[in-house]
Amino acid sequence: MLKIITSMMIASTLTIILMTMCTMISKTMKSDREKSSPFECGFDPKSTARLPFSLQFFLIAVLFLIFDIEVVIILPMVITMKASNMINWMMSVAPFITVLTLGLYFEWKMGMLEWTY
């Protein structure tokens, strides 16, 4: 118990020392309106500096995230295939794969996977 308390005290002290040193060494920058505005030959910008975000890119990113999570769910199913009864394993995996396939088919037919400019 004494080793745990000692190591926590050393870690806390080291953390506080490093944080103090970082704040002392780092520069403090005061931001004002001129420094934070974009520079265009001394004139104020007429339009926004940001481009509009592509909704199609967002949809494809969300689809990638969903299918990535589904792969994480499928991998343990493959590993447990050896240890479980094949009929029970197929009854639990088949609906999951069916829903994934139908979802992909629906996204394909709705045109969500086509990249348009």
Helix (H, G, I), strand (E, B) or coil at 81: coil
In this structure, what DSSP letter does residue 47 have? S
pLDDT values of the chain reduced to their tens digit, one per residue, 117 residues:
888 899 999 999 999 999 998 888 876 655 656 666 666 565 555 666 566 777 777 778 888 888 888 888 888 888 888 888 889 888 888 888 898 888 888 888 887 777 665
**Cα separations (Å) of 116 from 33, 61, 69, 85?**
38, 15, 26, 46
Radius of gyration over every alpha carbon of the chain, rounded to an integer in angstroms: 28
For residue 43, which phi and psi values (nearest 5 degrees)?
-100, 155
Helix (H, G, I), strand (E, B) or coil at 40: strand
Domain ranges of the chain: 64-109
Rounded distance, CA 45 to CA 64, Å? 37
What pLDDT is recorded for position 96? 85
